[in-house]
Amino acid sequence: MLEAAIHGMLLALGLILPLGVQNIFIFNQGAGHRKFRSSLPAILTASICDTLLILLAVLGVSLFLFQFIWLKNLLFIAGACFLIYMGYAIWKSKPKTDGGHTLTPCKQVGFAMSVSLLNPHAIMDTVGVIGTSSLIYSGTEKQLFTLACIAVSWVWFFCLAIAGRMLGKADKSGKLLVLLNKASALVMWAMAIVMVKQLL
């Protein structure tokens, strides 16, 4: 049983570590707010969305849905459009480490849901890797595997926001955060281009 939990942890960590839209967003929220608790709406929303995706993948629901090509294509189109918009918004933003320019809790929830649920690559990874890997387990082992994957997501997003907050405190001028936002926008636009190419 311990093997299933370790497998789940390592698998989830491997999927969540690469630089992606979701990670960038959570890190920026941690860096941009004056108080850590102000970034909790984004952290909790991203964690809950990941939990939902993992559960759907393990239960096989998402795998069934992705058998419909039109649904997959629609998701990629929506994801590409959203990444272009997010990239533009982040490129134009001028973060302030004193909390002067931050998202409201409602906007945090909306953006976090979007970067979590409109990210085809994250969904495909969850379905293709976590969902498929869970098939080798059953009963208690499958439950431990699933819980380990979920736990990694929650811990990772909290740690990411804390790391962002530490950078925000260290970067009093906000210049480093501006550069980070520019780099983040470029990553988002690059991912959008990749999605469009996959549709063509």
Burial of 31 (0-12, 13-18, 19+ CB in 10 A): buried
Each residue's pLDDT tens digit, 67-109: 777 777 787 788 788 878 878 887 887 655 444 456 788 888 9
Tell whether the model's pLDDT for residue 200 goes beyond 50: yes
Both tokens assigned to 72: 């997959």
Work out the pLDDT band at 62, boundaries 50, 70, 90.
Answer: low
The pTM for the full model equals 0.81
Give pairs for 180-185: CB < 8 Å, separation 24+.
180/27, 180/28, 180/31, 181/28, 181/90, 181/91, 181/93, 181/95, 182/91, 184/24, 184/28, 184/87, 184/90, 185/86, 185/87, 185/88, 185/90, 185/91
Each residue's pLDDT tens digit, 150-183: 999 999 999 999 998 888 788 767 777 778 778 8
Q: How far apart are the first and last CA of the chain?
A: 44
